[in-house]
Structure 1
Amino acid sequence: MDVITGIEQFAWIAWIALIAIFLVIEMLTLDFTFLMLGIGSLAGLIADLFGAELWLQVLIAALAAVLLIFLVRPPLLNRLRRGEDPTPSNVAALIGMPGLVLSTVTRLGGLVKLDNGETWTARTADDTASFPPDTHVRVDRIEGATAYVHTDADFPQEGQV
């Protein structure tokens, strides 16, 4: 028995192993990509059980996986995400949030108290600006544990009414 014949004879074991590996990865990622690859591998296993040549098994598995990824996965993801809360969370929720300068904010540092009650180290989004205490600002971006802020035109500044 030569190597090629041995591979073709026991290809079903490789297909089952691939299906198991893809399903375990899918359980960890929950993105439906590896589920589609697993179903494609199942198509390759079925082709093997019907006596198809190895090259045809691989072609059938690849074609099934690609079709599933592009035709079935997007509607499944839309259906899965249909009921999720669109409210931003974590750092995304801080972008655009108003705050009040506690200690002067420059390009080197400062402190800002955001409207959610958190106090953040802050820097100016514009390197030429400087914001004294009690200035209303808005978060431009977050990098690490630093909020980059700019003046908030929506709020009256100190001395204005």
Structure 2
Amino acid sequence: MWWVLWLTVAVLLGVAEFFTLTLALGLLAAGALVAAVAAGLGASVPIQVLAFAITGGVGLVAVRPVAKRHLALPPPSRDGSDALIGRSALVTREVSATGGLVHLSGEDWSARPYDEDLVIPPGVRVDVLQIDGATALVHPREALPDPRTTEG
């Protein structure tokens, strides 16, 4: 019944890894699983301990540094038109479902409202929510005045 003991150790180390996020305890849990398999196959206790030590040691020495390096990488930066998402633009020609124009990052871009029912008049600040080809899908930063209530 040594395999039950090793399985219990693996579960406890896995739970501890869940709370600490060190990666070391998770690799030791994998070693305990290997020892549990060895015990299940009828290996002697010294062989089980050796399987645990070798698996855990290799994990800590070989796998952990590589994993930590990947965790430390900066998030991928957005470039090209993806970098425009989230930026502010100024409507220069009325933006409706049929099209329009916004001034975005020093350039004029064709634009459509993100909400197809909106009509955004010139002079309104909008946020770019998506880029579809060469067209910016935009939404006003502030609520638009209701055209039925404005005097004109």
Give me the TM-score of the superposition, normalised by structure 2: 0.48
Give 1 or 2: higher strand fraction: 2
Higher Cα Rg, which structure: 2
Give me the TM-score of the superposition, normalised by structure 1: 0.45
